[in-house]
Chain A
């Protein structure tokens, strides 16, 4: 167990290393990094100063060491546009992102789990086909387009919901649905297949043989166990949601980290872009690690694999 966790930890560190190297190299290889690191429209002297400060004339290895040393102090640089440390900026936006992701997750589970169960219980019926079409539609509609069409309908034509911004629960409705939509389809698919697995198992057959009413078999015996993989996926997806919300947050002007990334790109605020990508990647690497460890705790077979 210990060895397994240590190895997983090693892989995660490798992932983080690779992430930082990739980001570091891309910035240096694709042009003059000084131009990216300095404010747009800076003078020649400023450029020279940045080159000195970041040691851009030194070897790449030395530069990488410097890059990592600065990061490990929690120093992600200064935002050009907001004139404040990037890390502070990120921390101030993160709660908004988490709120949006939580709401989107709630929506996706409320839609995905019941439809998945119905599709599994009535497998190969009309309900199942309807569920399949719903899942395919969900996976085929880009979330930002769903958002735009909702704004058009609910804000412009009906005037029921605010089209952008944040503050009231009403502001949360449309971004949460737009973001949760794709995930609802994914959760539905997993609930269906997981439910089918459980319904075919021995203990469900036994429960049926005992003469338990079907509702009890499904509700008490099957549902609980079928839920485990769905909730695990939901946990991973919550973190992924924070990081793929860029487009939805841009559509609804929602002040989360995704919107921060977009602002970073439009204002050519490079430190912000770099920090958002680094922190987002780190978040996903850590969640993957936690999930792997959790699985190992639940299922001993995984621990002894290879």
Chain B
């Protein structure tokens, strides 16, 4: 059979695995999928332009409150921008930043972990020393510092978050590689004359990728919260782009007057998404990887 097609099929089978199992966290997954769909189709779904407001319609409450209207279902902010539209486009920013940063960090960490674990010797020493020292740095403060220097933008944010969170993967994957590389099929591959890179790619990687996926799911929540915190502090997503953290920062302006929807709604979105990612990650961890249970 064609090798790449077999790989695709294996991946598809593996990705579909959760649905074939019991105790699958249906609601969290449904929430994540919904947020993803809203993020993708925000252009079609959002009733208004998220960056343009009507100054005459500032601080309108949600439709069900006194003074609210069907025009703005979830109310408007201090510039008269529609909160619902901003939440929808904010989902896009959170999804893009969260997923990309997790994937970039995962790729960096997994590659370093595999190389470190398989190669051993001085390469292992160098990479693990680097990982340890990096782990010792306070991630949030470090991210704030980087963001303050390079300036706010979505691209920078992804690089910063990836730079702050790759270490976990490197550590865990290296540990797994150490045991996988002693197994018979790897020894056979060595005897058969496979090159180092082939062994790492074809024999080691497929055996550690589950752990990387589990870790990635668990990290998604952390990354999204950090993104929101950076945006809240003004070093994340630059205004007027809609991001949930930025909306919370803006929401502070109307808080003393009791405009609760500007604070409660974006925060609930963050919480729902992070909670869903954590529940899914927890389930994946127990299902796929008994070794990771104590993490």
A binds B: yes
> Hey, which bits of chain A sit against chain B, CB under 8 A?
11-12, 14-15, 18-19, 23, 26-27, 30-31, 36, 136-137, 139-142, 144-145, 148-149, 151-152, 156-157, 163, 193, 240, 243-244, 246-247, 250-251, 261-262, 264-266, 273-274, 276-277, 280-281, 284-285, 288
Selected A-B contacts with CB under 8 Å, 13 pairs: A18-B130, A137-B271, A145-B263, A149-B263, A149-B267, A151-B255, A152-B258, A243-B141, A246-B229, A247-B233, A261-B144, A281-B141, A284-B136
8 further A-B pairs in the complex, CB-CB below 8 A; given A139-B274, A145-B267: A15-B133, A30-B150, A145-B270, A193-B294, A247-B229, A247-B233, A277-B141, A281-B138
Assess whether B144 is in contact with A246, with CB atoms less than 8 Å apart. Answer: yes
Assess whether B232 is in contact with A136, with CB atoms less than 8 Å apart. Answer: no
| 1/0 contact string of B101-137 vs chain A (CB within 8 Å) | 0000000000000000000000000000110111011
CA distance A281 to B144 in the complex (A): 13
| 1/0 contact string of B229-273 vs chain A (CB within 8 Å) | 100111100000000000010011001101010011001001100
A142 contact from B130, B133, B228, Cβ within 8 A: B228
CA distance A9 to B192 in the complex (A): 44
CA distance A280 to B136 in the complex (A): 11
Assess whether B279 is in contact with A18, with CB atoms less than 8 Å apart. Answer: no
Knowing A14-B129, A137-B275, A246-B233, the reply to whether A144 touches B248 (Cβ < 8 A) is yes
Q: Which residue of B lies closest to A132 (CB)?
A: B282
Assess whether B133 is in contact with A11, with CB atoms less than 8 Å apart. Answer: yes
Assess whether B271 is in contact with A14, with CB atoms less than 8 Å apart. Answer: no
Assess whether A142 is in contact with B229, with CB atoms less than 8 Å apart. Answer: yes
CA distance A156 to B255 in the complex (A): 8
Q: Which residue of B lies closest to A156 (CB)?
A: B258
- List chain B residues, Cβ under 8 A from A139: 221, 274, 278
A27 contact from B133, B144, B149, B255, Cβ within 8 A: B149
CA distance A261 to B149 in the complex (A): 13
- List chain B residues, Cβ under 8 A from A26: 145-146, 149-150
Knowing A14-B129, A139-B278, A247-B229, the reply to whether A277 touches B145 (Cβ < 8 A) is yes
Q: Which residue of A lies closest to B140 (CB)?
A: A244
| Shortest distance from the beta carbon of A99 to any chain B beta carbon, whole Å | 19
- List chain B residues, Cβ under 8 A from A266: 234
- List chain A residues, Cβ under 8 A from B255: 148, 151-152, 156
- List chain B residues, Cβ under 8 A from A246: 140-141, 144, 229, 233
CA distance A262 to B140 in the complex (A): 12
Knowing A277-B142, A288-B136, the reply to whether A148 touches B148 (Cβ < 8 A) is no
Top 10 closest pairs, chain A to chain B, by CB:
A145-B267, A140-B275, A15-B133, A140-B274, A277-B145, A18-B133, A243-B138, A15-B136, A265-B148, A142-B225
Knowing A141-B271, A142-B267, A265-B144, the reply to whether A136 touches B278 (Cβ < 8 A) is yes
Q: Which residue of B lies closest to A145 (CB)?
A: B267
CA distance A265 to B234 in the complex (A): 9
In the complex, chain B residues 205-242 whose Cβ is within 8 Å of any chain A Cβ: 221, 225, 228-229, 232-235
